[in-house]
Amino acid sequence: MARVVKTTGLLLVAVMILGLAACSKKTSGKAQEGPNYLKIGGLLDSAMNLDPITSTYNTVFEIDGAIWNQLIQPDPVTMELKPYLIEAFPDVNADGTVFTFHLKKGVKFHDGVELTSKDVEFTFNRFFDPKWNNLNMWMADFILGAQDMMDGKASTLAGFKVIDNYTFSIQLEYPFTAFLAVLAVSPLSIMPKEACEKAGERWGIDTIIGTGQYKVKSFNPGVELIVERFDDYWGTKAKLDGIKWNHMLVETQLLEWEAGTIDICGVDVQLVDGYLAKYPNNVVEQEYVGTHWLSFNQDIPPFNNIKVREAVGLATNIDALVQDYFKNHVRRARGVIPPGIVGHDPARPLRQYNLERAKQLLAEAGFPNGIDIEATVRESNSAWVEIYQIFQEQYKLANIRLTIDRVDAAGWTQKRSTGHVQYYMMNWYADFLDPDNYLYTIYHSGTANFFSTGFRDKYFDEQLAKGRTLQLSEKQKFYSDLESYLLNEKMAGWPLYTPTGYILRSNRVKDVYVKKDFLFTFEIGYIVE
């Protein structure tokens, strides 16, 4: 999902806010919750609209995992893909381009309306219709007719056919081995046609209706979310009566958890040793399938100069960051593609800190007196602010003067998605387990503005298109070589580390945790009284 920037979905801070929702009206009053409610403290500033196509934040995707279902979803324990809203995996034609699906019968949305093929058709047409302002269209742009819709040349998706109330087919432009995994991403949650059309631009704010385990009881965007169990859920009923999230700054979350007023919050990795010593049975660890790296916007000088990009990378003391700040709770990254994804190269050399070479490269690039650069960060993300401050001090030794632009969540999304962020720490967690989700998503020319990379390379785009047609057995060397081109020949990014995250969980809570994709699951969680 995904996600930037799932997110940018976001780092090891306590952005652990997920929830579950359904049809509701926005309320500002305090809803009452009982003892069987899970209480979470987190950063809700990016959860102003719960419609998954309007966001790339993990926070929203986590919440949406309880509100909505997709046709296919990963098992909460094994992460193995399983049919959810469909009876079984689809039938596939001989050339691997046409998939025929059969919906489960009797699945109800939170307003009591039964799910049919028309809702799925609406969901996919809406996904590519520019008027809905989907930030995630690139996730499935290989479906036949998607490009025509995105270009305004068609109003419906040529590759989607309704066969009957419970049967439909989807045709791709070319075979893509990761298609079923793509169907499991949060932005392809299935929406109710009638209710969504009626709500219009207020969908995801005032009206939120899904088929998930929970429905919204009250939603005050950016402040509070309360959801309750949906008793007409088509599958296994939730064991929790409901979940309540409150927006809290990171420091407040920790105080409230220790006071016993919330059940779950995140704990930054640089603080976790103290909590492991004091609360060894309450710290839950998870190593994510994700990567953090430095992203340079080649549209904004001086990062249009490859020597400058390399110099900033060489002036970044990653070992010091990992050892001194993260206390060795994260691992050095070897590339953009993380362990657990085909194409990851465990033998790729780690990037080395080289201050003198950085100075030399800046001089060769025409900057003997150094450069001025700017990093942009969400002001609520205190851990990232601290990391940029560390870089700020490191860079002074190379005459690189870094300023830190702190913005709110809306300002960050606006600036980054329009190509105006010069330099930042990109983090990405797997929306689906395929290298396409990293290289195509972030570095295809079509997203050069959206992710503020400024990277446009015809050869790279052609190779990305070729990679989508490969069988799984052909992908390892292909994507490893393509990543080498991206990072070594073009210096488009500078790998930093692969993340591990921690949450604090109260003794009364069981089986609520963050999965390897950096998304919370509440599917099997319960409370022991």
- Span 203-215, pLDDT tens digits: 999 999 999 999 9
Interhelix angle 306-314/355-364, rounded to 10 degrees, is 160
pLDDT for residue 118 is more than 80: yes
Q: Do residues 99 and 169 make contact, with C-beta atoms less than 8 angstroms apart?
A: yes
Q: Do residues 185 and 1 make contact, with C-beta atoms less than 8 angstroms apart?
A: yes
pLDDT in tens, 25-60: 333 333 457 789 999 999 888 899 999 999 888 889
Mean pLDDT throughout 508-516? 89
**Distance between CA atoms of residues 158 and 335, nearest Å:** 37
- Is residue 341 very low, low, confident or very high in pLDDT (cuts 50, 70, 90)? very high
Mean pLDDT throughout 139-144? 94
Q: Is 113 helix (H, G, I), strand (E, B) or coil?
A: coil
CA dist 183 → 74, 90, 189, 207, 378 (Å)? 10, 11, 8, 24, 30
Burial (0-12, 13-18, 19+ Cβ within 10 Å), 504: buried
User: How large is the C-alpha radius of gyration of the chain?
Assistant: 23
Mean pLDDT throughout 439-460? 96
**Distance between CA atoms of residues 276 and 268, nearest Å:** 12
Q: Quick one: pLDDT at residue 4?
A: 40
Find where tokens 């995707």 sit: 61
Q: 241-273 b/e with 16+ CB inside 10 Å = b?
A: bbbbbbbbbbeebbebbeeeebbbbbbbbbebe
- Is residue 398 very low, low, confident or very high in pLDDT (cuts 50, 70, 90)? very high
Residue of 229, 267, 248 lying closest to 43 (CA atoms): 248
Mean residue pLDDT of the chain comes to: 91
pLDDT for residue 481 is more than 90: yes
pLDDT in tens, 406-427: 999 889 989 999 999 999 999 9
Find where tokens 């969680």 sit: 525
CATH 3.10.105.10 segments of the chain: 291-498
State whether the Cα torsion 202-48-77-96 is positive or negative: positive
**Distance between CA atoms of residues 203 and 1, nearest Å:** 20
- Is residue 8 very low, low, confident or very high in pLDDT (cuts 50, 70, 90)? very low
Give 484 or 514, the one with higher predicted confidence: 484
Q: What is the helix (H) or strand (E) element at residue 73, kind and residue range?
A: strand 72-74
**Distance between CA atoms of residues 343 and 478, nearest Å:** 7
pLDDT for residue 489 is more than 60: yes
pLDDT for residue 12 is more than 70: no
- Percent of the chain with pLDDT strictly greater than 90: 79
Q: Which amino acid is at 356?
A: E
**Distance between CA atoms of residues 314 and 395, nearest Å:** 10
Decide yes or no: CATH 3.40.50.720 for domain 291-498.
no
- Is residue 263 very low, low, confident or very high in pLDDT (cuts 50, 70, 90)? very high
End-to-end CA, the chain: 35
Mean pLDDT throughout 275-281? 95
pLDDT for residue 516 is more than 90: no
Mean pLDDT throughout 359-388? 95
CA 507 to chain centre: 29
State whether the Cα torsion 246-249-250-253 is positive or negative: negative
Decide yes or no: CATH 3.90.76.10 for domain 71-195.
yes
Q: Quick one: pLDDT at residue 32?
A: 55
CATH 3.90.76.10 segments of the chain: 71-195
Q: Do residues 6 and 61 make contact, with C-beta atoms less than 8 angstroms apart?
A: yes
Q: Is 28 left (phi over 0), alpha (psi -120 to 50) or beta?
A: alpha
Contacts with 429 (C-beta within 8 Å, 6 or more apart), sequence order: 1, 2, 3, 6, 7, 9, 58, 288, 289, 290, 517, 518, 519
pLDDT for residue 13 is more than 70: no
Q: Quick one: pLDDT at residue 11?
A: 34
